[in-house]
Amino acid sequence: MKSTIRLRMSAHDAHYGGNLVDGARMLGLFGDVATELLILSDGDEGLFKAYDEVEFLAPVFAGDYIEASGEIVKMGNTSRKMVFEARKVIAPRPDINDSACDVLEEPIVVCRASGTCVVPKDKQRKPHNA
């Protein structure tokens, strides 16, 4: 089971000099993807228990379009192991003008992570074979 969301990083998302976006923003996107995956699999938002691994691989700036995706790779009785990836797919081109942007021929992977979510048995509304 997979889920993907895409959104533009705004000036509000920029936390550091040079319009750099805080890496925690990518984790927030992964949380949204995880919530959608849990709703699809269990009919409940569940809870994000822990990240096992997080890798920040490239900078993200205000104006970048980020595509965040995730997949459930293992299902236990209540736990859902997931993997995530965030890719920059469109980047602004302020060197050309204030509104210029490029669709990237090859998306840039900016973050990868894996983690575990939990849906308590009494909240699961969809049967599955764990």
pLDDT per residue as tens digits for the range 1-48: 899 999 999 999 998 988 999 999 999 999 999 999 999 999 999 999
Q: Which residues pair with 116 in a beta bridge?
A: 50, 81
- Whole-model pTM: value is 0.91
Strands of the 2-8 sheet, one edge to the other: 2-8, 65-75, 79-92, 101-118, 47-56
pLDDT per residue as tens digits for the range 51-107: 999 999 999 999 999 999 999 999 999 999 999 999 999 999 999 998 999 999 999
Fold of 2-123: Thiol Ester Dehydrase; Chain A (3.10.129)
Domain boundaries defined on the chain: 2-123
